[in-house]
Structure 1
Amino acid sequence: MAPAPSPTPTDTHCPYCSLQCGMRLRPVVPAAPGEPAVAVEERPDFPVNQGALCGKGDNAAAVLSAHARLTAPLIRDRRTGRLRGATWPEALDRAARGLAATAERHGRDAVGVFGGGGLTNEKAYLLGKFARVVLRTPNIDYNGRFCMSSAAAAQRRAFGLDRGLPFPLEDVARTGCLVLVGANPADTMPPAVRHLRALREAGGRLIVVDPRRTRTAELADLHLRPRPGTDLALALGLLHLVIADGRVDETFVADRTSGYERARTVAMAHWPERVERITGVSVEHMRQAVALFCDAPTGMVLTARGGEQHSKGVDTVGAWINLCLATGRAGRPRSGYGCLTGQGNGQGGREHGQKADQLPGYRAIDDPAARAHVAAVWGVDPDDLPGPGRSAYELLDTAGTPGGVRALLLMGSNPVVSAPHAGHVTERLRALDHLVVCDVVLSETAELADVVLPSAQWAEEDGTMTNLEGRVILRRAALAPPPGVRTDLAVLHALAARLGTDKGFPEDAEEVFDELGRASAGGQADYSGITYPRIAAADGVFWPCPATDDPPDHPGTPRLFLDRFATPDGRARFADAGHRPAAEEPDADYPLRLTTGRVLAQYQSGAQTRRTAALHRAAPGPFVELHPRLAARLGVTDGDQLTVTSRRGRATAPARVTTAIRPDTVFMPFHWPGAGRANTLTNPALDPVSRMPEFKVCAVRVEKAAAGKRS
Structure 2
Amino acid sequence: MTTTGTATETTTETHCPYCALQCGMRLRVPVDGGVPEVSGREEFPVNRGALCGKGQNAAAVLAPGARLTEPLVRDAAGALRPATWDEALDRVAAAFRDTAAEHGRAAVGVFGGGGLTNEKAYLLGKFARVALRTPAIDYNGRFCMSSAAAASRAAFGLDRGLPFPLADIPRTGCVLLVGSNPADTMPPAVRYLRELRENGGTLIVIDPRRTRTAELADLHLQPLPGTDLALALGLLHLVIAGGHVDKDFVAERTHGFDAARAAAMAHWPERVEALTGVSVSQLREATDLFTAPEHAMVLTARGPEQQSKGTATVGAWIDLCLATGRAGRPYSGYGCLTGQGNGQGGREHGQKADQLPGYRSLTDPADRAAVAAVWGVAPEELPGAGTSAYELLDRAGRPDGVRSLLVMGSNPVVSAPDAGHVTERLRALDHLVVCDVVLSETARLADVVLPVAQWAEETGTLTNLEGRVLLRRAALDPPAGVRTDLHVLHALAARLGHPGGFPEDPEEVFAELRRATEGAPADYAGISYARLAAGEALHWPCPAPAHPGTPRLFLDRFAHPDGRARFAAPSHRPAAEEPDAAYPLRLTTGRTVHHYQSGAQTRRVPALTTADPGPYVEIHPHLAASLGATEGAPLTVTSRRGTVTAPTRLSTAIRPDTVFMPFHWPGAGRANTLTNPALDPVSRMPEFKVCAVRVEAAAPAPEDGTRDRVRDLAPNGAPRPEAAR
Distance 1:185 1:296 in 2: 24
The residue number in structure 2 matching 1:703 is 696
Distance 1:245 1:541 in 2: 41
The residue number in structure 2 matching 1:583 is 576
1:201-216 to 2 correspondence within 5 Å?
Answer: 201-216=198-213
Which among 499, 504, 509 is matched to residue 506 of structure 2? Answer: 509
* Paired amino acid for 2:10: T
Which among 83, 86, 89 is matched to residue 83 of structure 2? Answer: 86
Per-residue CA deviations over 1:208-267 (Å, capped at 9, x if unaligned) read 000000000000000000000000000000000000011111111111111000000000
Which among 16, 19, 29 is matched to residue 17 of structure 1? Answer: 19
The question of 1:227 aligning with 2:224 is answered yes
Distance 1:502 1:173 in 2: 51
Which among 519, 523, 540 is matched to residue 520 of structure 2? Answer: 523
Q: Is the 8 A contact 1:180 1:208 kept in 2?
A: yes
Q: Is the 8 A contact 1:46 1:539 kept in 2?
A: no
The residue number in structure 1 matching 2:163 is 166
The residue number in structure 1 matching 2:95 is 98
Give ranges in structure 1 of 5+ residues lacking alignment: none
The question of 1:59 aligning with 2:61 is answered no
The residue number in structure 1 matching 2:289 is 292
**CA deviation after TM superposition for structure 1 residue 173, in Å:** 1.0
Q: Is the 8 A contact 2:69 2:451 kept in 1?
A: yes
- Secondary structure of 1:351's counterpart equals coil
The question of 1:318 aligning with 2:318 is answered no
The residue number in structure 1 matching 2:395 is 398
Per-residue CA deviations over 1:134-177 (Å, capped at 9, x if unaligned) read 00000100000000000000000000000000000110111100
Give ranges in structure 2 of 5+ residues lacking alignment: 702-725
Per-residue CA deviations over 1:630-684 (Å, capped at 9, x if unaligned) read 0000111100100000000001000001100000000000000000000000000
Distance 2:31 2:517 in 1: 42
User: In the superposition, relative to structure 1, how do residues 707 and 532 fare at CA in structure 2: closer, same or farther (>3 Å)?
Assistant: closer
Query: Percent identical across equivalent pairs?
Result: 76
**CA deviation after TM superposition for structure 1 residue 537, in Å:** 1.6
Q: Is the 8 A contact 2:4 2:10 kept in 1?
A: no
Greater CA deviation, 501-510 or 698-707? 698-707
The residue number in structure 2 matching 1:567 is 560
Per-residue CA deviations over 1:87-136 (Å, capped at 9, x if unaligned) read 00000001111111100110000000000000000000000000000000
Which among 42, 46, 49 is matched to residue 47 of structure 2? Answer: 49
The residue number in structure 1 matching 2:538 is 541
Distance 2:385 2:544 in 1: 29
Distance 1:477 1:184 in 2: 31
Distance 1:575 1:457 in 2: 41
**CA deviation after TM superposition for structure 1 residue 538, in Å:** 2.1
1:120-139 to 2 correspondence within 5 Å?
Answer: 120-139=117-136
Q: Is the 8 A contact 1:47 1:539 kept in 2?
A: no
**CA deviation after TM superposition for structure 1 residue 540, in Å:** 3.5
Q: Is the 8 A contact 1:474 1:540 kept in 2?
A: no
- Secondary structure of 1:474's counterpart equals strand
Q: Is the 8 A contact 1:5 1:479 kept in 2?
A: no
Q: Is the 8 A contact 2:645 2:700 kept in 1?
A: no
Q: Is the 8 A contact 2:354 2:361 kept in 1?
A: yes
Which among 614, 618, 627 is matched to residue 621 of structure 1? Answer: 614
User: In the superposition, relative to structure 1, how do residues 422 and 4 fare at CA in structure 2: closer, same or farther (>3 Å)?
Assistant: farther
**CA deviation after TM superposition for structure 1 residue 5, in Å:** 9.8
**CA deviation after TM superposition for structure 1 residue 489, in Å:** 0.3
Which among 96, 111, 115 is matched to residue 114 of structure 1? Answer: 111
Distance 1:342 1:707 in 2: 32
**CA deviation after TM superposition for structure 1 residue 543, in Å:** 0.2
Per-residue CA deviations over 1:28-56 (Å, capped at 9, x if unaligned) read 24334xxx4x2101210100000000000
- Secondary structure of 1:361's counterpart equals helix
User: In the superposition, relative to structure 1, how do residues 428 and 4 fare at CA in structure 2: closer, same or farther (>3 Å)?
Assistant: farther
- Secondary structure of 1:655's counterpart equals strand
**CA deviation after TM superposition for structure 1 residue 473, in Å:** 0.2
User: In the superposition, relative to structure 1, how do residues 4 and 511 fare at CA in structure 2: closer, same or farther (>3 Å)?
Assistant: farther
* Paired amino acid for 2:572: H
1:664-675 to 2 correspondence within 5 Å?
Answer: 664-675=657-668
Distance 1:636 1:462 in 2: 50
The question of 1:371 aligning with 2:373 is answered no
Provide the aligned length of Structure 1 versus Structure 2. Answer: 697
The residue number in structure 2 matching 1:471 is 468
1:189-208 to 2 correspondence within 5 Å?
Answer: 189-208=186-205
Distance 1:302 1:237 in 2: 17
- Secondary structure of 1:9's counterpart equals strand
Which among 414, 433, 438 is matched to residue 436 of structure 1? Answer: 433
The question of 1:177 aligning with 2:174 is answered yes
**CA deviation after TM superposition for structure 1 residue 517, in Å:** 0.3
Distance 1:196 1:627 in 2: 28
Q: Is the 8 A contact 2:646 2:700 kept in 1?
A: no
* Paired amino acid for 1:531: S
The residue number in structure 2 matching 1:458 is 455
Q: Is the 8 A contact 2:634 2:700 kept in 1?
A: no
**CA deviation after TM superposition for structure 1 residue 4, in Å:** 13
Distance 1:331 1:112 in 2: 40
Distance 1:613 1:394 in 2: 36
Q: Is the 8 A contact 1:180 1:209 kept in 2?
A: yes
* Paired amino acid for 1:93: D
The residue number in structure 1 matching 2:713 is none
The residue number in structure 1 matching 2:719 is none
Q: Is the 8 A contact 1:102 1:110 kept in 2?
A: yes
The question of 1:308 aligning with 2:305 is answered yes
The question of 1:186 aligning with 2:183 is answered yes
The question of 1:416 aligning with 2:413 is answered yes
Distance 1:23 1:694 in 2: 35
* Paired amino acid for 1:44: E
Per-residue CA deviations over 1:598-651 (Å, capped at 9, x if unaligned) read 000000000000000101111100000000110000111100100000000001
* Paired amino acid for 1:699: A
Q: Is the 8 A contact 1:18 1:341 kept in 2?
A: yes
Distance 2:394 2:542 in 1: 38
The residue number in structure 2 matching 1:242 is 239
